[in-house]
Structure 1
Amino acid sequence: MSTRQKIGILGGTFDPPHVGHLKLAIHFAKILHLDALLLIPSGEPWQKGSGITPAAIRLQLTEAAGIDLARAMLYLKIPTQVGIDRIEIDRAGPSYAIDTAKALRARFGSDASLIWLMGADSLLALPSWHDWQELSNYLNFAVASRPNHALEQQLTPVLAQYLAKHQTKDASALETDTSGLIYIDESLAVDLSSTALRQHLKTPARHTIGSEQIPSHTLEIITNLGLYQ
């Protein structure tokens, strides 16, 4: 097994963070033997349009989710360190993943394996990302399947070609190679979305949302601040 440093990266708008994010993080922390996992809330999510919760609040919600994630790692005896990274919050302008990838590569050095974690829906949207094909020069990707996002039926020709070049069936390859690989994991299927949770929180039934959907510390802040009403 390689001794190189393995850093997981879970970026997102996190508006709000939900248990699906945590399950994805825990799953890949375990199977990829991650040394550290960074939750990176986007500063200016340029593809999300208007109506996004302010970055400072989303950072606070993500920090709260990080508490529950770290406790779950400890309980499950997964020795992955959890961190919340302000890199996109502090960077002016649109939050492009390629800028984050370059900055993290400079931070961790050429010998670390940087692994961007995502759901299948994000992989399908990858060609819409800024300079997306350049990402493989800096990162590996670990992709979790999601219900209603069957990759085979939804792949565009350009994404299919990209996968043919970069996909690996061997998860351990992401531990030994620093970048350029895509591993698609079919064993995890989480059917939660921030969009659906926001819509639920706007209804009179918002009190029915529990810690099985939104991490308890995050939910406490949402309730105390009266967010998403």
Structure 2
Amino acid sequence: MSALPLNALQKIGILGGTFDPPHAGHLRLATHFAKLLHLDALLLIPSGEPWQKGTGITPAEIRFQLTEAAGIDLARAFLYLKVSTQVGIDRIEIDRAGPSYTIDTVKALRERFGANASLTWLMGADSLVALPSWNSWEKLSQYVNFAVATRPHHDLKAQANPEVIQFLKDHQTKDAAALENSTSGLIYIDESLNVDLSSTELRDRLKSSSRNAKTSEQIPTHTLEFITNLGLYQ
């Protein structure tokens, strides 16, 4: 599952994150856009050194294994839903030394898949609002499209700064199909999917006495098994 053949891959979705741990929200977002954008492949990319997250992050190799476990559940969901998208767990940020900058990742992926592939970075609206804090963020659209899922309590117009508002004016499309036919440079805001889960909140609940069946249901089955076996987030 980790290796993807390069032949005939034209529409690639990219879901990056700390994945500490991966949760049902990640899988819902991945599944939604895999179907909507008719993705040939979807890469889950755990960050190596998530420079904006501060201290206390689970080691990268463990987060990679947690993401691999989540990928098993995602691939099974695709099979059940008859979604033909391939799932790959990519080490590109873990194997690269230094802080994990998305700009370095998208440049490397563009080189890997070639100039004609449609590369689309998947994210929640909260990440779009925070985009100006990313390294060289204004150059990202030269390499990828963006597919953004709205989140409850995140009003883009109210929370986005003028830079993001202008970025949307310059790049937004109302047509999801446009991303399939564009190699980069477009932003699609999807308002049909509301994902309101965060890894931070899940970690807190896993560590606390309030850990319950509902918390467990929000973590992919194989990931939860891995967490339990290693005694993580205690």
TM-score, normalised to structure 1, is 0.97
Choose the corresponding residue for 2:126, options 121, 127, 147. 121
Q: How does 1:137-216 map to 2 (within 5 A)?
A: 137-216=142-221
Per the alignment, residue 93 of structure 2 pairs with 88
The match for 2:138 among 130, 133, 137 is: 133
Cα distance between partner residues in 2 of 1:123 and 1:208: 31
CA contact (8 A) 2:205 2:215 kept: no
CA contact (8 A) 1:39 1:85 kept: yes
Question: How far off is 1:206 after superposition?
Answer: 2.2
Per the alignment, residue 56 of structure 2 pairs with 51
Distance, in Å, in 1 between the alignment partners of 2:84 and 2:9 is: 15
* Cα deviation code 1:199-228 (max 9, x no counterpart): 001112324345530000000111111111
Structure 1 CA distance, aligned partners of 2:92 and 2:162? Answer: 33
Matching residue within 210, 227, 232 for 1:227: 232
Deviations 1:53-74 (A, max 9, x none): 0000000000000000000000
The answer as to whether partners of 2:124 and 2:149 remain within 8 angstroms in 1 is yes
The answer to which of 153-162 and 57-66 deviates more is 153-162
How high is the sequence identity, in percent, across the aligned residues?
76
Q: Say whether the 8 Å CA contact 2:206–2:215 is kept in structure 1.
A: no
Aligned with 2:109: secondary structure? Answer: helix
Residue 69 (structure 1) aligns with: 74
1:32 counterpart (33, 37, 58): 37
Partner Cα separation in structure 2 for residue 74 and residue 120 of structure 1: 28
Aligned residue-pair number? 227
Confirm or deny: 8 A CA contact 1:4 1:175 kept in the other structure.
Answer: no
Hey, what does 2:105 align to over in structure 1?
A: 100
1:4–1:113 CA contact under 8 A, matched in 2: no
Report what 2:117 is aligned to: 112
Structure 1 unmatched ranges of 5 or more: none
**1:29 positional shift:** 0.3
Q: In 1, Cα distance between the equivalents of 2:209 and 2:142?
A: 47
1:8 paired to 2:13: yes
Kept after mapping to 1: 8 A contact 2:25/2:195? yes
Distance 1:64 1:4, change over 3 A: closer
Name the Cα RMSD after superposition.
1.1
Structure 2 equivalent of residue 19 of structure 1: 24
Structure 2 gap segments, 5+ residues each: 1-7
CA separation in 1, counterparts of 2:203 and 2:157? 29
